[in-house]
Amino acid sequence: MDNLNDIEVRLWEYIDGLSNESEKSLVERLIAENAEWRSKYHELLEVHQSLNFVELEEPSLRFTKNVMEEIARYQIAPATKTYINSKIIWGIGIFFITMIVGFLVYGFAQIDWTTAGETKNPLGIDLTKVDYSQMFNNNLMNGIMMVNVILGLFLFDRYLSNKNKKLKEA
């Protein structure tokens, strides 16, 4: 026994022309041979045909004139792409990633791995033997911070110059 909901779904797809060829011929056969399918098909087809008769609502006769008067007060805004430079987005992304990586490395360097006790290291690396002082020292930290500050200043400069450019265009 076919589920009524399933019949409706398949019939709507058939009526909307969304069925593939094999499904289409199967539905056509079911409509021809099965009374339940045929009755449901005619019911749905009536709804479908009624909907094609629906008329659109019309606004007032002055509508177009009102819109044209309204838009006369405005200018077309420049396309988004022209004032949002993808390089700026990338720069901001790199800035934050660098910050996060920097803090993570610093954070890991501060952990005293010897207090981890007897727990087994899932990475299979003895972290207690890693000499962080060799790869992460004050000079490296200062270097990262310096790069971040330069990147931040660079982005701030770009932001201000773009804002200035937009104001000039307006």
What residues make contact with another protein under the rule CB under 8 A? 8-9, 12-13, 18, 43-44, 46-48, 50-60, 63-64, 66-68, 70-72, 74-80
Q: Residues 73-93, buried b or exposed e (16+ Cβ, 10 A)?
A: eeeeeeeeeeeeeeeeeebee
Q: How far is the CB of 73 from another protein (least distance, A)?
A: 9
Q: Which is nearer to another protein, 70 or 112 (CB)?
A: 70
Q: How far apart are CA 103 and CA 115, in angstroms?
A: 21
The number of C-alpha atoms within 13 Å of 65 and in the hemisphere containing its C-beta is 3
Q: How far is the CB of 91 from another protein (least distance, A)?
A: 23
Nearest CA among 71, 79, 89, 70 for reference residue 169: 79
Exposure of 41 by Cβ count < 10 A (0-12 exposed, 13-18 middle, 19+ buried)?
A: buried
Q: How far is the CB of 10 from another protein (least distance, A)?
A: 10
Q: Which is nearer to another protein, 58 or 131 (CB)?
A: 58
Q: Which is nearer to another protein, 58 or 126 (CB)?
A: 58
Q: How far is the CB of 1 from another protein (least distance, A)?
A: 20
Q: Which is nearer to another protein, 22 or 80 (CB)?
A: 80
Tokens matching residue 78: 């420049």
Q: How far is the CB of 81 from another protein (least distance, A)?
A: 8
Q: Which is nearer to another protein, 40 or 144 (CB)?
A: 40
